[in-house]
């Protein structure tokens, strides 16, 4: 019997840590500036060198991100981040101006495949958001700022249900034409299943090389690791995750955290795939921020690791 499953695994994967932004943005307990800074510093020390640190959005909409300017000020003056990509989420020109003033070098722009979600999230249709992104990216390019793109609701929308692959293709092409260095494909509400993930990747692979994408799974229904495995099988090697599985989008009803970075660490490292993560240091980083949030992590691996050491 021939079995091709899990036979062609890559030697290493790339992990983009989104805990300080996607992870914290939905947490009710406001984390102090110094605790956020220490969280990011600890993540960097744990071997995570692409970290989404903050967002320049309306403070009344996302109160946790209200000190993004001050946070970036601390980060950019700390030499331990030399060589680390610190990414700031930017929705429009007002956010871009704040990001420029703060001196950021990496931004992420975001839109989706659902007009309803986009309206609720950023008060703009998909096409309106693409016009804003174009403006933002012109300024970014002239300031040598690198831009990552996000597409949300790729696998389903909390308001519109199933979303269109044709729309995904159109938006991905537009972001590519505008010059993003990669696109993160968001399962915003954790509704994807491995078969669907395979189909979406197969569809996109007709027009794009797979290294143009990172997979961004939320673990709302406990499917994130299965979906990551399906992505890996399809040839994807970049994944977004959040320390401790923190997170969720306030404009996606019921969305819970991103897949936990610890779960990715175990999934990959137990199969001999390098992640660059020092799990001991990551567990310290996560435990500290969880204690500030006064909450537990949903990560089964983190619980096992903390109680058994492996």
- Residues of span 5-34 touching Mg ion by CB under 5 A: 22
Say whether 157 is catalytic: no
In the complex, least distance from residue 186 CB atom to Mg ion, rounded to whole angstroms? 5
Is residue 152 classed as helix, strand or coil in its secondary structure? strand
Cβ closest to ligand HMG, residue 21 vs residue 41:
21
* Separate counts of helices (H) and strands (E) for the chain: 11, 8
Contacts of 178 (CB under 8 A, 6+ apart): 130, 133, 134, 137, 147, 149
In the complex, least distance from residue 21 CB atom to Mg ion, rounded to whole angstroms? 9
Cβ closest to ligand HMG, residue 23 vs residue 230:
23
Q: What is the DSSP letter of 208?
A: S
Beta strand 183-187 pairing with 146-152: parallel
Question: Which candidate, 23, 21, 10, 2, places its Cα nearest to that of 299?
Answer: 23
Cβ closest to ligand HMG, residue 147 vs residue 188:
188
187 lines the binding site for Mg ion (CB under 5 A): no
Is residue 296 classed as helix, strand or coil in its secondary structure? coil
The answer to whether the beta carbons of residues 41 and 263 sit under 8 Å apart is no
**Token couple for 295:** 């909450």
Which span (52-60, 202-210, 283-291, 293-301) binds ligand HMG, by CB under 6 A? 52-60
By beta carbon distance, the residue nearest ligand HMG is 186
Which span (57-65, 72-80, 139-147, 167-175) binds ligand HMG, by CB under 6 A? 57-65
- Considering only 85, 94, 146, 221, the residue that binds ligand HMG (CB under 6 A) is 94
Marked catalytic residue, from 90, 154, 204, 249: 249
Residues forming contacts to Mg ion in the complex (CB under 5 A) are: 22
The catalytic site residues sit at 249
């Amino acid at each position: 019997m021939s079995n091709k499953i899990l036979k062609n695994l890559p030697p290493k994967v790339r992990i983009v840590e989104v805990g300080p932004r996607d992870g914290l943005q939905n947490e009710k307990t406001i984390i102090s500036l110094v605790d956020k800074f220490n969280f990011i510093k600890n993540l960097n020390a744990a071997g995570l060198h692409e970290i989404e640190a903050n967002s320049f959005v309306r403070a009344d909409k996302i109160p946790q991100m209200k000190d993004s300017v001050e946070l970036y000020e601390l980060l950019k003056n700390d030499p331990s981040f030399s060589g680390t990509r610190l990414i700031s989420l930017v929705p429009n020109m007002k956010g871009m101006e704040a990001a420029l003033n703060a001196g950021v070098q990496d931004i992420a722009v975001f839109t989706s495949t659902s007009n309803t979600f986009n309206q609720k999230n950023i008060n703009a249709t998909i096409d309106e958001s693409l016009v804003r992104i174009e403006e933002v990216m012109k300024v970014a390019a002239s300031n040598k700022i690198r831009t990552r793109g996000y597409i949300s609701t790729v696998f389903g929308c909390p308001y519109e249900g199933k979303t269109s692959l044709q729309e995904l293709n159109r938006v991905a092409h537009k972001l590519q034409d505008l010059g993003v260095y990669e696109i993160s494909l968001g399962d915003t509400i954790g509704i994807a299943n491995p078969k669907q993930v395979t189909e979406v990747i197969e569809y996109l692979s007709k027009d794009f090389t797979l290294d143009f994408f990172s997979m961004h799974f939320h673990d709302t229904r406990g499917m994130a690791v299965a979906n990551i495995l399906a992505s890996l099988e399809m040839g994807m090697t970049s994944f977004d995750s959040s320390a401790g599985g923190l997170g969720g989008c306030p404009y996606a009803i019921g969305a819970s955290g991103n897949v936990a970075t610890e779960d990715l660490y175990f999934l990959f490292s137990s199969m001999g795939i390098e992640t660059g993560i020092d799990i001991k240091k990551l567990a310290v980083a996560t435990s500290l921020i969880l204690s500030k949030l006064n909450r537990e992590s949903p990560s089964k691996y983190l619980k096992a690791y903390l109680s058994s050491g492996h």
